[in-house]
């Protein structure tokens, strides 16, 4: 179960979005303030994090009393996070939280930064606080359910998943939470339908690989072979996919194919000791 946080970190990195909120200023520097906010927004869209940081800081300095600055601070924290300044990002969001202690936006962003820094307990607390403020947030409930599973809070995890299934049965986060829960509790048969629903709308290599693993564990090796082949076609540079196919070949008593895929996995960066220990 300790690998679950790495899954969440990946999801945070690929799904989180940034938005600069432009608030009309109350004094005569409207053009400067709004221009700076727009420039920050443009820089964020282009992933020019250092430029975005400079523009946001300049905007807040231009109008330090503007009530929109708390949202800019929250964005600044995430800009710094994306620029690799984790500690500074966390400090920025801590400062924003002091100013606006019940801001859902600030708490959610801080939780994501904490999670990326492997501060699981602190991230869990922030996600829980957000749900106390707004219980309807599906993505936040997904994150808490996964952290609850890692931290051993099984009843909270299952309650959160039940809430998601009741209130957002078609949502991607519902399917991802349920699939992950069932996989990590060895209920592979139950995990497969949720992964299939994910694949209907998100044909990602990791979803096919996860379903293939479940199919391997339930003995459906033909379906597993199809799914692994699809995963490799989507991401041919992922050595772990070749290792997974090597394991499948071993299960099907095809040692030459297993060794060939094992060698390919090593060429793509999978440690040779790991490959050999699995295929021996």
Give the whole-angstrom CA distance, residue 45 versus residue 56. Answer: 14
What is residue 169's DSSP assignment? Answer: T
Q: Cβ atoms within 10 A of the Cβ of 135, count?
A: 11
Mean pLDDT taken over the chain: 90
Mean pLDDT of 51-78: 93
Output the pLDDT for position 8.
Answer: 55
pTM of the model: 0.84
Output the pLDDT for position 253.
Answer: 96
25 pLDDT above the threshold of 90: no
Q: Cβ atoms within 10 A of the Cβ of 63, count?
A: 21
Using an 8 Å Cβ cutoff, are 114 and 122 in contact? yes
Q: How confident is the model at residue 3 (pLDDT cuts 50, 70, 90)?
A: low
For 195-220, the pLDDT digits (tens) are 999 999 999 999 999 999 999 999 99
For 135-148, the pLDDT digits (tens) are 999 999 999 999 99
Output the pLDDT for position 17.
Answer: 47
Output the pLDDT for position 280.
Answer: 84
Output the pLDDT for position 15.
Answer: 46
Find the length of the chain: 280
What is residue 27's DSSP assignment? Answer: S
Residue among 255, 224, 259 at smallest CA distance from 243: 259
Q: How confident is the model at residue 13 (pLDDT cuts 50, 70, 90)?
A: very low
Domains and CATH numbers, the chain: 203-280 (1.25.40.10)
Output the pLDDT for position 30.
Answer: 55
Output the pLDDT for position 137.
Answer: 96
Helices 205-217 and 221-234 pack at an angle, to 10 degrees, of 160
More confident residue, 4 or 125: 125
pLDDT cut 90: percent of the chain above it: 85
For 73-128, the pLDDT digits (tens) are 999 999 999 999 999 999 999 999 999 999 999 999 999 999 999 999 999 999 99
For 224-261, the pLDDT digits (tens) are 999 999 999 999 999 999 999 999 999 999 999 999 99
21 pLDDT above the threshold of 50: no
Give the whole-angstrom CA distance, residue 167 versus residue 279. Answer: 44
Q: How confident is the model at residue 191 (pLDDT cuts 50, 70, 90)?
A: very high
Mean pLDDT of 273-279: 94
pLDDT cut 70: percent of the chain above it: 89
Instruction: Count the helix, strand and coil residues of the chain and give each as a percent rounded to the nearest 5.
Output: 75, 0, 25
């Amino acid at each position: 179960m300790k690998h679950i946080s790495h899954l969440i970190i990946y999801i945070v990195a690929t799904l989180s979005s940034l938005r600069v909120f432009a608030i009309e200023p109350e004094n005569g520097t409207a053009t400067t303030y709004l221009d700076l906010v727009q420039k920050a927004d443009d820089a964020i869209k282009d992933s020019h994090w250092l430029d975005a940081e400079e523009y946001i800081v300049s905007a807040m300095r231009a109008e330090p009393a503007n009530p929109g600055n708390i949202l800019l601070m929250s964005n600044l924290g995430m800009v710094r996070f994306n620029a690799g300044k984790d500690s500074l990002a966390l400090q920025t969001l801590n400062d924003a939280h002091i100013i606006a202690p019940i801001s859902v936006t600030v708490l959610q962003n801080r939780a994501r930064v904490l999670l990326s820094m492997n501060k699981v307990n602190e991230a869990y607390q922030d996600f829980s606080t957000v749900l106390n403020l707004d219980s309807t947030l599906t993505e936040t409930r997904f994150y808490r359910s996964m952290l609850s599973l890692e931290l051993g809070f099984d009843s909270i995890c299952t309650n959160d998943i039940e809430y998601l299934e009741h209130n957002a049965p078609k949502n991607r986060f519902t399917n991802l939470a349920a699939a992950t829960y069932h996989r990590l509790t060895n209920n592979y048969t139950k995990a497969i339908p949720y992964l299939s629903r994910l694949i209907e709308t998100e044909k990602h290599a990791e979803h096919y690989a996860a379903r293939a693993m479940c199919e391997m564990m339930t003995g459906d090796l033909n379906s597993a072979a199809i799914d692994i082949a699809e995963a490799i076609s989507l991401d041919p540079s992922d050595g772990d996919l070749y290792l997974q196919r090597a394991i499948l070949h071993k299960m099907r008593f095809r040692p030459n194919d297993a060794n060939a895929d094992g060698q390919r996995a090593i060429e793509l960066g999978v440690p040779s000791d790991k490959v050999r220990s699995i295929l021996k």
